[in-house]
Amino acid sequence: MGSWIKDDGPNNNIVLSSRVRLARNLSNVPFPAMLTKESSSDVIEKIYDEEMRNGVFKEYKFYNMQDTGFVDRYALVERHLISPNLAAQNSIGAVLISNDEDVSIMLNEEDHIRIQAVLPGLQIKEAWNIASSIDDKIESKVDYAFDDRLGYLTSCPTNVGTGIRASVMIHLPGLNLSSNINKILQAVMQVGLTIRGFYGEGTEFIGNIFQISNQITLGRSEEETVDNLTGITEQILNKEKEARGLLFDNNRIMLEDKVWRAWGLMTNARSISGQESMKLLSEIRLGIDMGILKRIPVSVLNKIMVDTNNASLQKSAAKELNTPERDILRAEEIRKLLMQ
Amino acid sequence: MGSWIKDDGPNNNIVLSSRVRLARNLSNVPFPAMLTKESSSDVIEKIYDEEMRNGVFKEYKFYNMQDTGFVDRYALVERHLISPNLAAQNSIGAVLISNDEDVSIMLNEEDHIRIQAVLPGLQIKEAWNIASSIDDKIESKVDYAFDDRLGYLTSCPTNVGTGIRASVMIHLPGLNLSSNINKILQAVMQVGLTIRGFYGEGTEFIGNIFQISNQITLGRSEEETVDNLTGITEQILNKEKEARGLLFDNNRIMLEDKVWRAWGLMTNARSISGQESMKLLSEIRLGIDMGILKRIPVSVLNKIMVDTNNASLQKSAAKELNTPERDILRAEEIRKLLMQ
């Protein structure tokens, strides 16, 4: 389980995690969309050969998508170790996951190589350092598709250049409750950042969780990208703190009532949807941060967030479950986690 | 506190209480609507004189409405000891309440005398016996307005004859959840009974509680009235039991979820409206009856029902409270009662 799930990190009461992802491709090999099944195996073999297996990737687990079952693939998505995209295509993709689960390297997703490092709290620079050092190690072994003028070449033009996507997963219930969230999100978009939901591109905002990431990969260095996102995240962080403080001062009973009701429902419900549990979890996180509820380890809260989703539930039940069955098991798991 | 609030009674899991009320008037005295303040005092003095005070009413408390404050009057309404009508007119009315609070006798409400006896569970006949014996004692002292052909004369023609209104307060969450409640209520009305909400005439149905009473007071004896209502109540009771059984067999998780959520909210909310608390209380009562929740004394459940209403809350706080303040205090009292 990644350290972003089980450990504390700087400003973890608001910034759940920091992530850096680098898109890379092998030179003189067609992008994955154009690969045959055979040549896709060659790509994997080139990166994950005997030498790398016993060297750079010694502390990694390797999953070939075609040998990984449906539920297992989506359980990896729910832990944010692979993209929904990689899980959906099960013929040519693979992933390498470090034993500590902080690093995952997708192979033959949209690009040949996508290196991802995730850390708890606001640690974008630290995540960048980890991803960059792995990038260097892979680059010393294979030839990257690189253009002197453009930089790293990628499948999608939006990644050409640095190929970096730095992002934070940020929890903003205070701004939402005080109806300031749209103003903030608009300002964030105006400075060229992108906002996404909990599961990435195209997913909804649930549980007051937002993923904010850079859009620009051309004409701006990796360090600038990281510093820029860090600076803006700090600003949002302060706005959120301010909003929480104002709510506590001016609407304390409303806040306490909301938080305790969420606690009452989460510790008593016998059936709960994923959507509702994310909403209530958000209120519980807020309540802990405001000192209304007793402290609960961040690992427990994050386990509720990642381990009570559809695929993870089915994995733990070791069988397929329909929606009502999942809702019942989810409620059971949440009660166990919160009452332990 | 009346025994219907604090004690168990037959079929108490569905029939909360049984009540018999007798309307009586003094002969040769104008009905209350036509009384001057002075002659209204004469009525009270006639019924509650030195002899009665030390005899029949020795174990009673006497409250003159004009000497009873607003909050105290409505606290009596909330305990179902006087009508909203008597509480509203504060110049000529009075009430005698037995020390055990099972009997209350309103003076100068719509009629000169309204004798009420309430018991827990399905005990209409027993309530009738109590009311009737008090009626006899008063009649041995004063002259009732009585017509040989019509029977007892009353202010409103709908009470002329026996002057009896027998009623049960019945809790029907099963029939409501299984969407059979309207069918049942219509059938009840077709056999000449009246259905009212928790606080009597003109009040809404809240918390799945219905008051069912006879409409006819002419051409039918008191015993027939009591037997008829008892018989119909037993039929409704059986329908409700059946509905609860079917819910338990066919929708157990839905039922458990609903009950546990109600429990979670009632034991955690920091602010709760009277309406919401009645709704949740209904679900908790159902849960206890179905063995989903551990047993809670009926006195606790009924205290929540009668003692966390607006006037009772203000009485216990010993000051006027606005709506948000009442909602906060209500939540606090409910938590105390349920967690004790």
Average pLDDT score over residue span B185-214: 84
Domain B3-242 superfamily per CATH: Glutamine synthetase/guanido kinase, catalytic domain (3.30.590.10)
Task: Please provide the size of chain A in residues.
Answer: 340
Q: For helices B222-250 and B181-190, what crossing angle results, to 10°? A: 170
3-state secondary structure of B218: coil
3-state secondary structure of B340: coil
pLDDT in the model for residue A204: 63
Whether the CA torsion B54, B59, B65, B69 is positive or negative: it is positive
Average pLDDT score over residue span B5-15: 95
What pLDDT digit, counting tens, does each position of B284-303 carry? 999 999 999 999 999 999 99
Residues of each domain in chain A carrying CATH 3.30.590.10? 3-242
What pLDDT digit, counting tens, does each position of B244-289 carry? 999 999 999 999 999 999 999 999 999 999 999 999 999 999 999 9
Count of C-beta atoms within a 10 Å radius of residue B64 = 16
pLDDT in the model for residue B190: 92
Asked if B269 lies within 8 A of A254 by C-beta distance, the reply is no
Is the pLDDT confidence value at B202 over 60? no
Q: Are strands B94-98 and A193-196 parallel, antiparallel or unpaired?
A: unpaired
- List the end-to-end C-alpha distance of chain A, in Å, as a whole number: 19
Q: Are strands A103-107 and A94-98 parallel, antiparallel or unpaired?
A: antiparallel
pLDDT in the model for residue A202: 57
Task: Provide the Cα torsion A260, A265, A266, A271; round to 10°.
Answer: -170
Residues of B within 8 A of A267 (CB-CB) are: 264
Q: Which of A15, A2, A6, A11 is nearest to A210 (CA)?
A: A15
Q: Which of residues 263-292 of A touch B (CB under 8 A)?
A: 263-271
Across chain A, which has 340 residues, the per-10-residue mean pLDDT values are 94 96 97 91 94 94 94 92 89 94 97 98 98 97 96 96 97 93 91 81 77 94 97 97 96 97 98 95 97 95 92 90 96 95
CA distance A179 to B54: 67
Residues of A within 8 A of B266 (CB-CB) are: 264
Give the H or E element holding residue A127.
Answer: helix A124-139
Which residue type sits at A98? S
CA distance B87 to B85: 5
Average pLDDT score over residue span B77-102: 92
* pTM of model > 0.90: yes
ipTM of the complex in this document: 0.90
Average pLDDT value for chain B = 94
Non-local (6+) Cβ contacts of A336 within 8 A are: none
Is the pLDDT confidence value at B104 over 80? yes
Asked if A257 lies within 8 A of B267 by C-beta distance, the reply is no
DSSP B274-302: HHHHHHHHHHHHHHHHTTSSPP--HHHHH
Residues of A within 8 A of B265 (CB-CB) are: 261, 264-265
Strand partners, A332: none
Best mutation target, A260, A284, A328, to test chain B (most B CBs within 10 A) = A260
Question: Residue B54 class from Cβ within 10 Å (0-12 exposed, 13-18 middle, 19+ buried)?
Answer: exposed
Task: Please provide the size of chain B in residues.
Answer: 340
Q: Does A253 touch chain B (CB under 8 A)?
A: yes
Q: Quick one: pLDDT band at residue B90, thresholds 50, 70, 90? A: low
Is the pLDDT confidence value at B105 over 60? yes
Q: Does A339 touch chain B (CB under 8 A)?
A: no
